[in-house]
Amino acid sequence: MATLDLNQINKSFGSAKVLHDIDLAIQDKEFVVFVGPSGCGKSTLLRIIAGLEEATSGQIIIGGEDVSRAHPVERGISMVFQSYALYPHLSVFENIAFPLRVQKLAADDLKERVERAAGILQLTDKLDLKPGQLSGGQRQRVAIGRSIVRNPKVFLFDEPLSNLDAALRGDMRVELSQLHRQLDATMVYVTHDQIEAMTMADRIVVLNGGRVEQFGAPMELYHHPATKFVASFIGQPNMNLVPATVEGVDANGVAVSMEGGAKLVLPVDGSNVSKGDRVEVGIRPENVKLDPNGNIDISVRVLERLGGASITYGEIGDNGTKFCASLGGDAKLVEGAQARLSISVDDCHVFGEDGNVLRRKNAPELVA
Amino acid sequence: MIELTNQQALAEGARRKTLPVGLFAWLLVAPAMIFILVIVAWPLAETIRLSFMEADLGGETYVGTQNYQDLLESRKFHQTITRTFYWMFISVALKLVLGLVGATLLNAAVPGRGLFRVLVMPPWVIPIAIGCIGWLWLYNGYFGVLSGMAQRLGITDGPFEFLAYKSSAFYSAVVTDVWVGVPMVTLFFLAAMQGVSRDLYEAAWVDGAGRWYRFRRITIPQIMPVIISMSLLSAIFTFNSFEIIWILTEGGPRGATTTLIVDTYKTAIGNYKFGEGSARAVIIVVLLGAFSLAYLAFLNRINRKFGTK
């Protein structure tokens, strides 16, 4: 197993630059997820690591060895594709054995390794079937099987769960996390689904427009998003961003006057802002409570009763600023009415005009 | 208002007291059925009937299976059948191999690929008769470019008339037949190759499979159903390929290029022996029918084996 370092990776397709100076240091046995919206360059970055695309400039170092120009096999990586890329004319056994056949491995050794992989993935009784006879989840496992028989240094996954239905995706997430623990391998996983990122990753790379927005542990991204983009990408439902004006800055934090009239003193580092600056206050829907003595008035437009929670969509202030709150399942609310909400100043994020965060002072301690 | 539902149509029909639905359906398919009866079923039946007759311009007499017995006993006819199968085998094999090579080249990411794809078409698009007349000139001993080149390169001492000798005439006809047949095979193979998912090649490439390995273990199995169907189609076309041989050699010299279809034509139309010609035609139908059935059964097995069904 091995570390994976990317140094100053740039990639252009013609005149379109899709990756800008990507620097990442991924540790041995780490599960790292690249997440971002479509077109952010996450799949391209993975393909560059795999050797399917060549970087325009920059270095790829796997286990201390520069493999920027090396063939995928020499890099010691293996890849699981979004479409699974199984060979429909070959049996499950032959699909898993494919990389070993290429290496011309001796028959007994080959059989043993394929059976070991099949055992890990619970495919032992499916070895004689064709991919067409398997369910989506089983095909996914065959694709993973094909990647583990080679004992690669780094596993690469390109949106492997996006073709599965929601329930199966949940099961496969758990299986993949277990597999990671079992194989104790370095894994790089690409997805556009922030839930996959949050649940499986040791650390997450958030990409946007070909740049790394933030690289950190899931809870770090949740509590300390570096930019407005990360803040609104991580978390479900999305974070509310309420326009506000800075009223003053002191040792306690930044006093703001928010759209909708609330005046709050937020405990954040105010060294980069001064009175009169426009900022945005980030409030997570789940940090809001229904409270007659609260500090925000909302006109409720749509109510989604999920059972355990009521997702409340509405507007605050006179400019129709959209606001979403995740309230109790039995919260006494009606569509079209007004409600008063309260938020704790410790839960608020503040973003400057450049989109960068003002560091929170009272955020909860990070858990592993 | 064009798409009436079934009930609406029925209600409409009832109101206007028009045709019952069953009869209406028959009327709709009638033109196609009459067409097929007239141009396929009736000639086929007539051919089978004639094959039991001694028939010429003078009239018809019933001779039972005499025509067939004559054919089975004729050494010449056996030679014709052997020649026909040899012709079919060698021509189809060449078409498939060249088609596969051509499709692979056209599928490769080379500059100007679009132009090459268009350039493959002419042999298929040009009317066969015109193409063959071009080939007649190529094969001509005194004016033909092939003979000219052979002389300049010192391969032959003097003019070589390609269509004048048994063996060279046969293989010249094969070359022309292949020239006509290759574009279709190539384009079908190309279409099939483009249908193979890129991911399969990328996955194999990541696993270290080289070009030849990928071709052998991915491309060929993936396009196998098309290879099989194309070889069947191509075999039937080649077996029945008439114009090319007729324009180049009329089956000569001394019968060297007389395949079953040419023999049938010469007998029935050239020598006015309609009965004997019909017997030959019926034998072609039986041979090709059996051949197709065997092939389709084989195709089914292949499809199952390669997971397309």
**A130 contact B CB<8A:** yes
Tokens, residue A237: 């439902």
Tell if the CB–CB gap between B203 and A85 is shorter than 8 Å.
Answer: yes
Chain A hits for B305, CB-CB cut-off 8 Å, are 89
The β-bridge relationship of strands A57-62 and A4-13 is antiparallel
Instruction: Quote the CA–CA distance of A65 and B87 in Å, as a whole number.
Output: 60
Residue numbers in B near A72 (CB within 8 A): 205-208
Which of A44, A89, A95 to mutate: most B Cβ within 10 Å? A89
Q: How many residues does chain B have?
A: 309
Among chain A residues, CA nearest to B210 = A102
| Alpha helices by DSSP H, B163-259 | 166-194, 198-206, 211-214, 220-239, 243-248
CA nearest A147 in B: which residue? Answer: B207
CATH of A4-232, one of 1.20.1600.10, 1.20.1530.20, 2.40.50.100, 3.40.50.300: 3.40.50.300
- B154 SS3 class: coil
Q: Do domains A4-232 and A237-289+296-358 have the same CATH topology?
A: no
Torsion angle defined by CA atoms of residues A208, A213, A217 and A218, in that order, rounded to the nearest 10 degrees: -50
Q: Please tell me the distance from the alpha carbon of residue B141 to that of residue B144, in angstroms, as a whole number.
A: 6
Q: Which tokens sit at B132?
A: 């063959």
Predicted local distance difference test score (pLDDT) of residue B5: 62
Q: In what order do the strands lie in the sheet with A253-258?
A: A263-266, A253-258, A240-250, A278-283, A349-351, A357-358
Q: Is the peptide bond before A243 cis (omega within 30 degrees of 0)?
A: no
Cβ separation of B224 and A89 shorter than 8 Å? yes
Task: Write down the domain spans for chain A.
Answer: 4-232, 237-289+296-358
Q: A227: which residues sit within 8 A by CB, 6+ positions away? A: A213, A214, A351, A355, A356, A357
Nearest-Cα distance to chain B for A203, in Å, is 25
Report d(CA A95, CA A87) in Å as an integer.
Answer: 6
Nearest CA in chain A to B211: A102
Label residue A163 exposed, middle or buried (CB < 10 Å: 0-12, 13-18, 19+). middle
**CA–CA separation, A301 vs A292, rounded Å?**
19
Average pLDDT, chain B: 85
pLDDT for the residue B229: 86
Angstroms from A64 CA to nearest CA on chain B? 20
A282 touches chain B (CB under 8 A): no
Q: Which residues of chain A are within 8 Å of residue B307 when distances are taken between CB atoms?
A: 88-89, 130-132
Are A78 and B206 a contacting pair at CB < 8 A?
A: yes
Q: Which of chain B's residues have a Cβ under 8 Å away from the Cβ of A71?
A: 208
Percentage of chain B exceeding pLDDT 90? 23
**What is the residue type of B79?**
Q
Q: Tell me the nearest-neighbour CA distance from A23 into chain B, angstroms.
A: 24
Task: Choose the mutation target among B196, B205, B207, B303 for the interface with A, i.e. most A CBs under 10 Å.
Answer: B207
Q: What is the mean pLDDT of each run of 10 residues along chain A (368 residues)?
A: 87 90 92 91 92 90 90 89 89 92 88 89 88 88 90 90 84 88 90 90 92 92 92 90 90 87 87 88 91 88 91 88 90 87 89 89 77
Give the pLDDT score at A60.
Answer: 92
Half-sphere exposure of B189 (CA within 13 A, CB side): 31
User: Which amino acid is located at A185 in the chain?
Assistant: A
Residue B309: pLDDT band (50, 70, 90) is very low
Give the confidence band of B4 by pLDDT, cuts at 50, 70, 90. Answer: low
Query: Pick from A254, A366, A237: which is nearest to A313 by CA?
Result: A237
Quote the minimal CA–CA distance from B233 to chain A in Å: 24
Please give, rounded to a whole number of angstroms, the shortest distance from the CA of B208 to a CA of chain A: 5
Instruction: Please tell me the distance in Å from A52's CA to the nearest CA on chain B.
Output: 7
Please tell me the class of the A237-289+296-358 domain: mainly beta
Cis peptide before B159 (omega within 30 of 0): no
Report the alpha-carbon distance of residue A339 to residue A302 in Å, rounded: 13
At residue A304, the pLDDT reads 92
Q: What is d(CA B4, CA B271) in angstroms, rounded to the nearest whole number?
A: 58
| Greatest alpha-carbon span in chain A | 75
Q: Which architecture characterizes domain B74-305 according to CATH?
A: Orthogonal Bundle (1.10)
Nearest CA in chain A to B218: A87
More confident residue, A260 or B7: A260
ipTM over 0.90: no
How many CB atoms sit inside 10 A of residue A128's CB? 10
Domain ranges of chain B: 74-305
Query: Which residues lie across from B59 on neighbouring strands?
Result: B56
- Taking residues B159-166, what's their average pLDDT? 81
pLDDT for res A1: 57
B202: chain A residues, CB-CB within 8 Å? 52, 79, 81, 85
**Cα–Cα distances in Å, from A224 out to A228, A366, A368?**
11, 10, 14
Residue of B nearest to A156 (CA): B206
C-alpha B52/C-alpha A172 separation (Å) is: 72
Yes or no: say if B283 and B295 are a contact pair by the CB < 8 Å rule: no
- Nearest C-alpha of chain A: how many angstroms from B231? 20
Q: Is the pLDDT of residue B263 over 50?
A: yes
CB contact under 8 A, B203 and A79: yes
User: pLDDT digit string (tens) for B167-204?
Assistant: 888 999 999 999 999 999 999 999 999 999 888 999 99
- pLDDT for B199-256, tens place per residue? 899 999 988 888 899 999 999 989 988 998 898 889 988 988 888 899 888 887 888 8
pLDDT for the residue numbered B178:
93
| 3-state class (DSSP) for residue A105 | coil
Residues A210 and A12: their CA atoms lie apart, in Å, by 10
Answer yes or no: are the C-beta atoms of B257 and B173 closer than 8 Å: yes
Look up residue A262 and give its amino acid.
Answer: A
